[in-house]
């Protein structure tokens, strides 16, 4: 391995500095307040609801995704590709777009107005299942499709019942996945902000939303610090738990037979697929129809698009530089990989509300105007996308760069010359994909804008939220459709870049 230059250490140092700039002020402020940080009934109620909605969302998502994945995994049928494409759409949509689509469908004046209670716990669960059902279905389907046709054929030859097939063939394929998938979904729901902010209420508030309310509405910094420290502790436990559960497990034994096996989907699987379609398709149709009939170009829309692009470009650029260096350091310094991986995960361990609270305390009185707000929003979004960018680049680097090390050492090629001639051409697609993913995540983000934005900073998500707050739902639908189409197009291009050329 080549020795890493000291300049490369600036990236992890920068990430640590940004994270500590958010966490240390919270700890200092908490210590200065002494005993005023008692966990009163309000805090316990918020914490309890955070855990309750995250747990229910996780259980519901997995309970529908597992039988649906079993029905889709082993039996090709007409329209299967369309179903899989449909279930990929939710992951490409910003949260504010999905919330607006659900309002258009289940709100009081919506298509199915009065069918469901959209606000409160039921609405939060509906939105979370919309997102996480598709995520869980994709991972479960990939795990089941790794089961060899030989094992399925043998199960048929032995006359396995559906229960026996699940126990001896399918469950071993899912056993390693489900604990860490459940931990991931739970973490995403526990740190949910936009969904709870828009569909919750006084009795349906999570830690993330309560931090925002305390900081930006009630101006109660003490309360915000208490909640932020609780949220940081909760996310740290969940990230550590997900890491522990991610240990590899032995899959089902691979046997050698010739003919691939097919199986019929049982009634439970077909019902789960039907429920999945009913949860995902109608909101998308409502958004498409209402947005297409309500779209209206206007100056504020152009301003919002421009601001969103600027923030997303800055955020993606910072994320790419940090991710490249962290992934390269993980590759070159294997003994420090655990520490470097923890640094890259700081965006999950310290969610946006926690970092924003610390930065607010540290920088209040020093930061003014749209330019400084845009810089902070971009940095926060870069930290949030960093775990995904590092994971993507590390895998690509391990496959593309390590085989070239010996040859480059023999011919004395290193530094910028190696990057220009060897590394950059080999990693053009992963680099572009990482940049685009970070761009999309920032482009559709509302959390950082609400936490750190100022007057004059209007993005597409914040414009939608403003129009919803002013009861201009028709205008908001048109704006949401534009944001959805742009985000979906970017995600589609990023996914195509991830395929092997």
pLDDT tens digit sequence for 88-144? 888 888 999 999 999 888 887 778 877 778 888 999 999 999 999 988 998 888 887
Domain identity same for 261 and 406: no
Mean of pLDDT over the chain: 80
* d(C-alpha 119, C-alpha 199), whole Å: 5
Tell me, what's the pLDDT at 40? 77
Q: How far is CA 240 from CA 2, 209, 296, 338, in A?
A: 31, 23, 47, 12
Higher-confidence residue: 112 or 29?
A: 112
Which letter does DSSP use for residue 256 in this model? Answer: -
Tell me, what's the pLDDT at 50? 93
CATH of the domain at 374: 1.10.3720.10
Higher-confidence residue: 469 or 194?
A: 194
Domain identity same for 94 and 196: yes
φ/ψ of 178, rounded to 5, equals: -60, -40
Considering Cα of 471, then 477, then 478, then 481, what sign does the dihedral take? positive
CB 350 within 8 A of CB 17: no
Picking from 265, 254, 308, the residue whose alpha carbon sits closest to that of residue 70 is: 265
Domain identity same for 287 and 331: no
φ/ψ of 297, rounded to 5, equals: -60, 140
* d(C-alpha 414, C-alpha 409), whole Å: 8
**Predicted confidence band of residue 84 (pLDDT cuts 50, 70, 90):** confident
Domain identity same for 261 and 225: yes
Residues forming beta bridges with residue 186, ordered by sequence position: none
Tell me, what's the pLDDT at 260? 43
Domain identity same for 175 and 276: yes
Which 3-state string (H, E, C) describes 62-126?
Answer: HHHHHHHHHHHHCCCCCCHHHHHHHHHCHHHCCHHHHHHHHHHHHCCCCCCCCCCCCCCHHHHHH
Domain identity same for 193 and 306: no
CA atoms lying within 13 Å on the CB side of residue 217: 8
Spatial CB neighbours of 36, under 8 Å, sequence gap ≥ 6: 222
Domain identity same for 227 and 304: no
Domain identity same for 301 and 449: yes
Domain identity same for 139 and 262: yes
Domain identity same for 139 and 153: yes
Domain identity same for 331 and 261: no
Picking from 269, 254, 70, 76, the residue whose alpha carbon sits closest to that of residue 153 is: 254
- Its domain, for residue 395, covers 295-501
Tell me, what's the pLDDT at 110? 75
Read off the pTM: 0.83
Task: Average the pLDDT over each of 166-175, 374-383, 387-396 and give the range with the smallest value.
Answer: 166-175
pLDDT in tens, 231-280: 888 888 887 776 655 544 444 344 443 344 445 556 777 888 889 999 99
Domain identity same for 192 and 172: yes
């Amino acid at each position: 391995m080549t020795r890493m230059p000291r300049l490369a250490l600036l990236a992890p140092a920068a990430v640590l500095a940004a994270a500590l700039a958010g966490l240390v002020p919270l700890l200092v402020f908490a210590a200065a307040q002494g005993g005023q940080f008692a966990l009163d009934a309000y805090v316990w109620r918020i914490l309890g609801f955070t855990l309750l909605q995250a747990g229910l969302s996780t259980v519901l998502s997995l309970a529908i995704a597992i039988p649906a994945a079993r029905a889709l995994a082993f039996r090709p049928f007409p329209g299967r590709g369309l179903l899989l494409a449909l279930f990929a759409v939710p992951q490409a949509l910003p949260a504010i777009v999905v919330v607006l689509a659900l309002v258009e469908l289940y709100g009081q004046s919506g298509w199915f107005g009065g069918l469901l209670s959209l606000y409160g716990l039921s609405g939060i669960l509906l939105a979370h299942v919309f997102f996480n059902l598709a995520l869980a279905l994709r991972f479960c389907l990939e795990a089941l499709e790794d089961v060899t046709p030989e094992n399925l054929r043998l199960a048929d030859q032995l006359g396995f019942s559906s229960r026996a097939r699940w126990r001896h063939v399918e469950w071993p394929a899912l056993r390693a996945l489900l604990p860490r998938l459940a931990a991931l979904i739970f973490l995403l729901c526990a740190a949910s902000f936009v969904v709870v902010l828009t569909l919750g209420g006084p009795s349906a508030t999570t830690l993330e939303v309560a931090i925002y309310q305390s900081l930006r509405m009630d101006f109660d910094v003490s309360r915000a610090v208490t909640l932020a420290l609780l949220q940081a502790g909760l996310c740290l436990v969940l990230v550590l738990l997900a890491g522990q559960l991610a240990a590899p497990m032995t899959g089902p034994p691979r046997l050698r037979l010739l003919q691939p096996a097919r199986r019929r989907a049982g009634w439970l699987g077909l019902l789960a697929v039907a429920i999945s379609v009913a949860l995902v398709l109608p909101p998308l149709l409502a958004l498409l129809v209402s947005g297409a009939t309500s779209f209206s170009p206007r100056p504020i829309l152009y301003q919002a698009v421009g601001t969103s692009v600027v923030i997303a470009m800055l955020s993606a650029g910072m994320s790419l530089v940090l991710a490249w260096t962290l992934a390269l350091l993980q590759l070159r310094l294997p003994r420090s990989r655990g520490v470097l991986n923890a640094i890259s995960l700081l965006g999950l361990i310290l969610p946006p509300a926690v970092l924003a609270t610390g930065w607010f305390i540290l920088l209040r009185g020093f930061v003014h105007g749209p330019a400084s707000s845009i810089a902070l929003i971009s940095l926060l979004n870069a930290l949030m996308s960093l775990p995904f960018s590092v994971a993507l680049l590390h895998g690509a680097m391990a496959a593309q760069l390590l085989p070239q090390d010996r040859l480059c050492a023999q011919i004395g090629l290193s530094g910028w010359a190696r990057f220009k001639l060897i590394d950059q051409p080999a990693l053009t697609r992963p680099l572009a994909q990482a940049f685009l993913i970070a761009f999309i995540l920032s482009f559709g983000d509302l959390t950082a804008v609400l936490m750190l934005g100022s007057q004059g900073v209007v993005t597409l998500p914040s414009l939608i939220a403003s129009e919803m707050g002013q009861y201009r739902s028709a205008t908001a639908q048109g704006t949401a459709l534009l944001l959805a189409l742009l985000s979906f197009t970017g995600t589609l291009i990023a996914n195509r870049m991830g395929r092997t050329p």
